[in-house]
């Protein structure tokens, strides 16, 4: 029997080979097809997936639904990936689901098939837990891409495509159009799709796929309705909220009777205002903001929002940042320096095998035009230094990696 390699969370980090979507479907069927017990909203995209899932989850809870949400990655606790009504499942329930999937995985190995990899394992667990907890609706975020993602084994009632840009090019393609084609792979036959209509070449690919699949298509222009969400500090947050609201409106047309009345009674902007989505332009403390932006497009939007917020508050921006190795490091550094224009930049390596070293970070930001660079040997040390040196007239932005946000939150939780 092949060895099952495990990650620090005691779940298998990878299988012996890539598991196909059809194999994922077969595995779920062996578990009793738990994903058939509830309606599914399937969300893909490059940036904004998690926020859209969070806004939809809060609105559905307010409509009286029992809601399961599957998102990634987690920031501090792995259970953040599997939520019931916006809350983590218990450790006991999490472990029981893991054991169920493990038993089925071992049966697969004995039959000469693949043991599930990390993301697949968690997806199977989520489907089991959603069924066991009596969820009526599940909101699923894709992991990587869409067409070949494990979540694409589901049968959704609605699909949503958020902003699409360059990221994970080694897996999804080296142009935004290739990536869009992978993301649009979640569009199912006759299933409505709501998507952001922002980049013409991307829009064309999504619209063509929708026509091919005879799926009703609902494009949402970036600035079409974002004035309803003016309380959100960043333009991209307002864009995500408008997209989620459009998806919620389409959902109303798919559900009849008393259930539709429950949906219609929801004040969507109020749901968005009440949503807590950690690490997405989140004001952790007065004038200390966390944002998970980690690719070129996300950093551009975050830097623009940060510069505008700093100007609005009459404060000078500071930046604490780092990155994993497989990102567009030069472009990210240049954007932070030229768009956010931080007075000081605090740099430190992540506590991860994928970290970028302190020396490499300093060279990147010096080349990008950064002047006052403050290096530390850990994120915790950089954060403590930045907070100690932050003046009353300064605002600190922490961005560049979701792993960075996780380390900051862990430091705050000590």
Structure confidence by residue, pLDDT tens digits, 308-338: 999 999 999 999 999 887 668 888 999 999 9
Per-residue confidence (pLDDT) for residue 169, from 0 to 100: 44
**Helices 118-132 & 91-110, crossing angle to 10 degrees?**
120
- Count other C-beta atoms under 10 Å from residue 255's C-beta: 16
Q: How much is the pLDDT for 1? A: 37
% of the chain beyond a pLDDT of 70: 92
DSSP at 412: H
Of the candidates 118, 164, 173, the residue with the CA atom closest to the CA atom of residue 295: 164
Give me the mean pLDDT over the 212-233 stretch: 85
Bridge-based pairing state of the strands 67-70 and 82-84: antiparallel
Q: What is the homologous superfamily of the domain 282-412 according to CATH?
A: Mur ligase, C-terminal domain (3.90.190.20)
User: Cα dist. 347→20, 179, 388 in Å?
Assistant: 39, 31, 15
- Whether residue 376 contacts residue 299, with contact meaning beta carbons closer than 8 Å, is answered with no
Residue 84 DSSP code: E
Tell me, rounded to whole angstroms, the distance of Cα 152 from its chain centroid.
Answer: 16
Q: In the structure, what pLDDT confidence band is assigned to residue 233 with cuts at 50, 70 and 90?
A: confident
266-301 pLDDT per residue, tens: 999 999 999 988 878 889 999 999 998 878 878 988
Q: pLDDT grade, residue 177 (50/70/90)? A: confident
Higher-pLDDT residue of 25 and 47 is 25
pLDDT of res. 369: 94
**What is the domain partition of the chain in residue ranges?**
21-274, 282-412
Cα-based angle 100, 153, 218 (whole degrees, multiple of 5): 135
Positive or negative CA dihedral for 382, 383, 385, 391?
positive
pLDDT digits (tens, 9 = 90+) for 81-130: 999 999 999 999 999 999 999 999 999 999 988 899 999 999 999 999 99
The C-alpha atoms of residue 280 and residue 48 are separated, in whole angstroms, by 9
* pLDDT for the residue numbered 259: 82
Contact 361, 375 (CB under 8 A): yes
How far apart CA 173 and CA 166 sit, in angstroms, is 9
- pLDDT value at position 212? 97
pLDDT averaged over the chain? 89
For 51, the token pair is 């926020």
Cβ contacts of 189 within 8 Å, gap of 6 or more: 213, 214, 215
Q: What is the pLDDT of residue 93?
A: 96
Residues 82/74, Cβ–Cβ less than 8 Å: no
DSSP state for residue 155 in the 8-state scheme: -
Digit-coded pLDDT (tens) for 121-166 = 999 999 999 999 999 999 999 987 789 999 999 999 999 999 887 5
Residues 15-35 have a mean pLDDT of 90
Question: What is the edge-to-edge ordering of all strands in the sheet holding 282-285?
Answer: 282-285, 288-291, 394-399, 316-321, 345-347, 373-375
> Which CATH code for domain 21-274?
3.40.1190.10
158-161, strands of its sheet edge to edge: 87-88, 82-84, 67-70, 137-141, 39-44, 158-161, 193-196, 217-220
């Amino acid at each position: 029997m092949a060895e099952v390699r495990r990650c620090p969370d005691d779940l298998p980090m990878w299988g012996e080979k890539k598991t196909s979507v059809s194999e994922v479907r077969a595995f779920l069927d062996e578990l009793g097809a738990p994903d058939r017990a509830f309606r599914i909203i399937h969300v893909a995209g490059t940036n904004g997936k998690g926020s859209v899932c969070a806004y939809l989850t809060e609105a559905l809870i307010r409509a009286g639904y029992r809601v399961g949400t599957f998102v990634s990655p987690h920031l501090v606790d792995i259970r953040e990936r599997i939520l019931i009504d916006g809350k983590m499942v218990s450790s006991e329930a999490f472990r029981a689901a893991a054991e169920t999937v493990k038993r089925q995985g071992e049966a697969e190995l004995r039959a000469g098939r693949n043991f599930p990899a990390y993301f697949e394992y968690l997806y199977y667990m989520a489907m089991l837990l959603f069924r066991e907890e009596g969820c009526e609706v599940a909101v699923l975020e894709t992991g990587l891409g869409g067409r070949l993602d494990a979540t694409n084994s589901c049968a959704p009632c609605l699909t949503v495509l958020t902003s699409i840009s360059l990221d994970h090019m080694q897996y999804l393609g080296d142009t935004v159009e290739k990536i869009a084609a992978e993301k649009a792979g979640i569009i199912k036959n006759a299933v409505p799709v709501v998507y952001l209509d922002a980049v013409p070449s991307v829009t064309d690919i999504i619209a063509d796929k929708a026509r091919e699949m005879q799926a009703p298509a609902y494009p949402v222009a970036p600035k079409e309705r974002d004035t309803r969400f003016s309380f959100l500090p960043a333009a991209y947050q307002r864009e995500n909220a408008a997209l989620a609201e459009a998806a919620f409106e389409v959902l109303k047309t798919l559900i009849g009777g008393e259930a539709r009345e429950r949906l219609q009674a929801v004040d969507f902007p109020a749901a968005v205002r009440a949503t807590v989505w950690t690490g997405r332009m989140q004001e952790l403390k007065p004038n200390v903001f966390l944002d998970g932006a980690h690719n070129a497009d996300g950093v551009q939007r975050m830097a623009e929002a940060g510069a505008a917020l700093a100007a609005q508050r009459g404060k000078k921006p500071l930046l604490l940042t780092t990155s994993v190795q497989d990102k567009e490091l030069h472009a990210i550094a240049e954007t932070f320096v030229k768009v956010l224009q931080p007075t000081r930049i605090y740099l430190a390596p992540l506590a991860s095998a994928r970290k970028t070293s302190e020396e490499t970070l300093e060279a990147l930001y010096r080349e990008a035009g950064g002047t006052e660079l403050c290096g530390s040997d850990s994120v915790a040390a950089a954060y403590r230094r930045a907070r100690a040196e932050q003046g009353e007239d300064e605002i600190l932005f922490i961005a560049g990696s979701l792993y960075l946000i996780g380390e900051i939150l862990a430091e705050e939780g000590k």
